[in-house]
Amino acid sequence: EAQVTQNPRYLITVTGKKLTVTCSQNMNHEYMSWYRQDPGLGLRQIYYSMNVEVTDKGDVPEGYKVSRKEKRNFPLILESPSPNQTSLYFCASSLQGAGGYTFGSGTRLTVV
Amino acid sequence: AQSVTQLGSHVSVSEGALVLLRCNYSSSVPPYLFWYVQYPNQGLQLLLKYTSAATLVKGINGFEAEFKKSETSFHLTKPSAHMSDAAEYFCAVSGQGGSEKLVFGKGTKLTVNP
The burial class, CB within 10 Å (0-12 / 13-18 / 19+), for A99 is buried
What integer pLDDT is reported at residue A94 of this predicted model?
Answer: 87
Q: Enumerate the β-bridge partners of residue A31.
A: A94
Reported as a pLDDT band with limits 50, 70 and 90, residue A99 is: low
Confidence of residue A1 (pLDDT cuts 50, 70, 90): confident
Q: How far is B58 from chain A (nearest CA, A)?
A: 15
CA dihedral for A89, B103, A59, B97, sign (positive or negative):
positive
Q: Is B98 touching A (CB cutoff 8 A)? A: yes
| Residue B86 near residue B36, CB atoms below 8 Å | no
Q: What is the pLDDT of residue B99?
A: 55
Do the beta carbons of residue B72 and residue B81 sit within 8 Å? Answer: no
Least CA distance to A48: which residue of chain B? B101
Helix, coil or strand: residue A78? strand
* Cα A32 to Cα B98: distance, rounded to the nearest angstrom: 13
Q: How confident is the model at residue A2 (pLDDT cuts 50, 70, 90)?
A: confident
Residues of chain A in contact with residue B96, where contact means CB-CB under 8 angstroms, are 99
pLDDT attached to residue B98: 52
| Residue B97: per-residue pLDDT | 57
Among candidates B96, B54, B29, B3, which has minimal Cα distance to A100? B96
Question: Which region among A49-58, A80-89, B88-97 has the lowest average model confidence (pLDDT)?
Answer: B88-97
Inspect the interface and report whether the beta carbons of B107 and A42 lie closer than 8 Å.
yes
Could you tell me what percent of chain A has a pLDDT over 70?
96
pLDDT digits (tens, 9 = 90+) for A6-35: 999 999 999 999 999 999 999 999 999 999
B109 touches chain A (CB under 8 A): no
Q: What is the DSSP string of B31-55?
A: EEEEEEEE-TTS-EEEEEEE-SS-S
State the DSSP string of chain B. Answer: -EEEEEE-SEEEEETTSPEEEEEEEEESSPEEEEEEEE-TTS-EEEEEEE-SS-SEEE-GGG-EEEEEGGGTEEEEEESS--GGG-EEEEEEEEESSS----EE---EEEEEE-
pLDDT for res A65: 97
The pLDDT, as a whole number, for residue A35 is 95
Per-residue pLDDT of chain B (114 residues; tens, 9 = 90+): 788 999 999 999 999 999 999 999 998 777 889 999 999 888 899 999 998 778 899 999 999 999 999 999 999 999 999 999 999 999 998 876 555 678 899 999 999 999
B1-25 exposure pattern, b = at least 16 Cβ within 10 A, e = fewer: ebebebeeeebebeeeeebebbbbb
The yes-or-no verdict on residue A46 having pLDDT over 60 is: yes
> B110, B86 in Cβ contact below 8 A?
yes
